[in-house]
Structure 1
Amino acid sequence: MTEQLKILILIKRFDLSHPKHKIKMDIINAIEEYAQLCYWYEDGDIKDILKEIPFTPDFIFHYDIAWNYALSPNITGLENVNIPKGCYVIDLHWDNKKRIQYFNENKIDLVFSVSKHPFLAVFPQLKNKLRWLPWSINPLIIKDWKEPKSIDYLLLGLVWAEDLKVKPQKGRYQFRDLVLDKMRNLDNFVFHPHPGHNAKENEKLLINEKYAKEINKAKIFFTCGCTDNLGGFAVLKFFEVPGCRSLLLAEPNREINDLGFVDGDNFVACSRDNFYEKAEYYLSNSNERERITNNGYEFIHSQHTNQIRAKQFVQMIQDFL
């Protein structure tokens, strides 16, 4: 048997401080099945850290440094070790000059990103270092909870509207904004606003099982990737919604096409002009809705689980080494 890779993961315990983001830690934890991992959570110099951990790693993986190291520790001296190293990029709207400075100063070998086309639009010079690692789902949480389909239409997350406390930059999610504006007064439409990234755990916070069960109640769910000059992302909801056996009606983008999403087969593509008509059609045509919903469920659980993504991550590192 080939000896497992030894990987040092430089990451913060944001799953404890920011419970809404526990799902991101689940993705990292899934790697434990395919490699030997050692986690380091505190700021420090890499040479000091290497003296403290139980093995010499084959690879060092530094989680996303965005928002002034909100999700990962601030590590110095990475440029002074000859161990191959990679980092993670989630949010392309953060300071790109600081990212470039970080890549260069720390001599980063691989850059893992949740997006491909948007990433290359921002960092075309990093094409050879890019390893596309899209979002995925924890099948113990994102699954069919057998909830009664009590919601016809559901919308969750970041949406811009005057009366919302938590909202994105105006225009970032134009499709969602239009859905809310058009449908919020319908009796069979449910909208739950984004609670804020720093929301503390409480009975009303829709996270983990409670979040998945709410999606599972919906016959139809609306979402989109970000609307800007980057061309759209495969955001987490593209995976979570079909993964909870709800019909995904979404504004498509190049990313999801590359990932295997097929209009009319495992999700329904719609535009800002026709989403309402398509929603009405699939609400009325239950056989068609259930066929696509079931295909979407099988598609996500067979191709986009955390375990599958973890194997891909380890293989990418092995191929590089």
Structure 2
Amino acid sequence: MRYALEKITDMVHYGPMFKRFKEHGGVMDVPTLEKIYKPDVILIQGFRKRVDRWKNLNKTSAPKAVFFSNPHEDLHMRARQLNQAKIDMSLHHIKNWMNRYKPLFAPSHKMRWVPFCINPDMFKDYGFERIYDVAILGAMYQRVYPLRTKIRKTLVGRKDLKIFHRSRPQPRGDPNTTFMRANYAKAIARCKMNIFCTSKFKYAVQKFAETMGCKTLGMADVPLDAEELHFRSDYNFVEINENNFVNKIY
């Protein structure tokens, strides 16, 4: 979404990953930054334990919005922090979790569903030779990704399939050499299939959009909200389960 907003707004990026953060000596006091940049909106990308790092969020005049990812983590703590910071709006990638948060937020708090999206200039068909049969990408935590873990254990080491296997893309690093952003997209674009799962929570994970964008065949179990997202098995992905994924590959 950041890339899309850059095209239609005068966006200023600020945080530990950006140059301005060092230029201002790592200032985390939001009212101080508000005086410098005079924003119309303050958008915090990625909630995961970041809201409490910013100081005096509740003392700003500009409206504030925050993106939610992994909504199953620390539900009550997140709601408490957002209420204390007087966040005006939360943007949720996973629709079916919104009703769990709504009773915990202040009555004036607004919630919006914003499904995962991609940068089409990055996640695309690069015209590469599809040198790998199957990609298996992402974290391998049995308790969270039971199907993905089983897929990896079953497929890695098979002599009749060329497997591309990596852990999750890195959040930071040199984009020219690190497995992240365009390098991650190019890896998917070199594979005929990308096989993954929706986790035990049945999330419509971002891999659906990333895989479709690269014109790679996605294989996964059906997520919640699939109908609203227009995910249809045998149309834009192939539905699998723990019993049939090997046969579906062949």
So what's the TM-score if we normalise by structure 2?
Answer: 0.82
Gapped runs of 5+ residues in structure 1? 1-26, 160-167, 281-321
Q: Which has the higher helix share?
A: 1
Alignment of 1:48 onto 2:21? no
Candidates 75, 81, 97, aligned match of 1:102: 81
Deviations, residues 26-64 of structure 1 (Å, cap 9, x unaligned): x313202222323333443332222212x4x33222233
Asked if 1:61 corresponds to 2:43, the answer is yes
Which residue matches 1:276?
A: 246
> Aligned residue pairs: how many?
236
Give 1:138 deviation, angstroms.
1.5
1:246 is aligned to: 216
Task: Report SS of the residue matched to 1:263.
Answer: coil
Give how far 1:253 is off. 1.0
Displacement of 1:199 in angstroms is 7.0
Query: Which digits, 9 at most, give the CA deviation of each residue in 1:232-283, with x for residues without a partner?
Result: 2122211111111111111111133321111111111111111111221xxx
* Equivalent in the alignment of 1:213: 186
Q: Among residues 149, 156, 170, which one is paired with 1:177 in the alignment?
A: 149
Deviations 1:49-107 (A, max 9, x none): 22212x4x33222233424x3xx783222323343221121122433333122111122
Q: Which amino acid aligns with 2:127?
A: K
Q: If the length of structure 1 is used for normalisation, what is the TM-score?
A: 0.65
Structure 2 unaligned residues grouped into runs of 5+: 16-25
Q: Which secondary structure does the structure 2 equivalent of 1:40 belong to? A: coil
Within 1, Cα distance between the matches of 2:62 and 2:176?
Answer: 45
Equivalent residue for 2:131?
Answer: 150
Structure 1 contact 45–76 (Cα < 8 Å) conserved: yes
Q: Residue in 2 aligned with 1:112? A: 91
Alignment of 1:195-214 (within 5 A): 197=170, 200-201=173-174, 205-214=178-187
Relative to structure 1, the CA distance from residue 250 to residue 195 in structure 2 (aligned partners, 3 Å threshold; closer, same or farther) is closer
Q: 1:139 to 1:101 in 2, by over 3 A?
A: same
Worse overlay, 72-81 or 238-247: 72-81
Structure 2 SS opposite 1:103: helix
CA distance in 1, matches of 2:94, 2:125: 27
Residues 126-145 of structure 1: matches in 2 within 5 Å? 126=105, 129-145=110-126
Q: 1:270 and 1:32, CA in 2 relative to 1: closer, same or farther beyond 3 A?
A: same
- Structure of greater relative contact order (alpha carbons < 8 Å, 6+ residues apart): 1
